[in-house]
């Protein structure tokens, strides 16, 4: 793409961004015709379409066959859903850079779970942790690990946080550290950490739950950084 084309794409992107952020185009509104927008922004159709693709990828615009392009609902969940596409594509170095965020968010979710969970949720989290400890990674271990962290994330009572954590876990599953021949010790350590988190949540201890969750995510970061496995989607 030449510099001139990029300049037009940027101009179209900024123009659409301005229309939406100013309220000139509200959630649910249909975009004006391509001809109108190209004239307004002084860009080509191809540049406008590229800018629309970028905003569509970010969850800001949505296309309906035969109807046109519309501003999405613009909920936090909708806009952040693009993370489910981008994070699982990150190379290891970039993925590792997200772990401080994951550590904070997972610790927050665990603390909130300890404070807010109903008895049935507390019991279910501990049940999953205990079941996971008896399973190999190939024998439902991966699914149970995901179920544990998915339930824990609901403790935040905040869907955008759950979306971010879900996207990070999705990429993490591509690095199959528990399928290595020497992974038994890692699996045992992970199982103990899951149980500590679940017990803190059961005991309604937010501080201990936060610390246990943060320790678990920090250990995961250290394993990946030390082992540097190739992703196996």
pLDDT band at 148 (very low <50, low <70, confident <90, very high): very high
DSSP string, 162-218: HHHHHHHHHHHTTS-GGGSTT-HHHHHHHHHHHHHHHHHHHTT-HHHHHHHHHHHHH
pLDDT at 2 over 50: no
Residue ranges, CATH 1.10.10.10, the chain: 3-74
pLDDT at 100 over 70: yes
pLDDT of residue 159: 84
Question: Whose structure tokens read 């990150």?
Answer: 90
**Cα–Cα distance measured from residue 98 to residue 33, given in angstroms and rounded to the nearest whole number:** 40
**Span 94-118, mean pLDDT?**
95
pLDDT of residue 79: 67
Query: Could you give the percent of the chain with pLDDT greater than 90?
Result: 60
CB of 153 closer than 8 Å to CB of 197: no
Q: What are 63's two structure tokens?
A: 């296309």
pLDDT of residue 87: 84
pLDDT of residue 60: 87
- pTM of this structure: 0.73
177 or 195, higher pLDDT: 195
**Span 9-27, mean pLDDT?**
92
Is domain 80-227 classified as CATH 3.40.50.12780?
no
Q: What are 125's two structure tokens?
A: 């989290």
Strand, coil or helix: 117: coil
pLDDT at 1 over 50: no
CATH fold for domain 3-74: Arc Repressor Mutant, subunit A (1.10.10)
pLDDT at 6 over 60: no
Residue ranges, CATH 1.20.120.530, the chain: 80-227
Beta strand 61-64 pairing with 68-71: antiparallel
CB of 115 closer than 8 Å to CB of 72: no
Question: Whose structure tokens read 């001809």?
Answer: 35
pLDDT band at 26 (very low <50, low <70, confident <90, very high): very high
**Mean per-residue pLDDT of the chain:** 89
117 or 158, higher pLDDT: 117
**Span 182-208, mean pLDDT?**
93
Nearest Cα neighbor of 83 from 103, 107, 102, 64 is 102
**Span 8-36, mean pLDDT?**
92
**Span 79-90, mean pLDDT?**
76
pLDDT of residue 163: 85
pLDDT of residue 233: 64
């Amino acid at each position: 793409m030449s510099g001139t084309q990029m300049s037009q794409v940027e101009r179209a992107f900024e123009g659409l961004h301005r229309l939406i952020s100013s309220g000139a185009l509200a959630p649910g509104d249909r975009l004006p015709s391509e001809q109108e927008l190209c004239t307004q922004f002084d860009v080509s159709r191809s540049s406008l379409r590229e800018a629309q693709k970028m905003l569509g990828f970010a969850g800001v615009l949505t296309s309906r066959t035969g109807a046109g392009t519309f501003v999405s609902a613009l909920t936090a969940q909708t806009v952040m859903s693009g993370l489910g596409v981008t994070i699982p594509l990150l190379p290891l170095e970039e993925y590792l850079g997200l772990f401080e965020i994951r550590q904070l968010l997972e610790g927050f979710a665990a603390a909130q779970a300890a404070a807010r969970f109903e008895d049935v949720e507390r019991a279910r989290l501990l049940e999953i942790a205990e079941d996971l400890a008896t399973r190999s990674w190939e024998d439902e271990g991966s699914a149970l690990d995901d179920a544990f962290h998915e339930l824990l994330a609901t403790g935040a009572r905040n869907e955008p946080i759950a979306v971010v954590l879900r996207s990070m876990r999705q990429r993490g599953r591509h690095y199959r550290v528990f399928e290595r021949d020497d992974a038994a010790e890692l699996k045992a350590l992970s199982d103990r950490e899951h149980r500590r988190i679940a017990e803190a949540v059961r005991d309604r201890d937010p501080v201990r739950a936060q610390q246990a969750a943060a320790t678990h995510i920090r250990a995961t970061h250290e394993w990946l950084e030390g082992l540097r496995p190739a992703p196996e989607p």
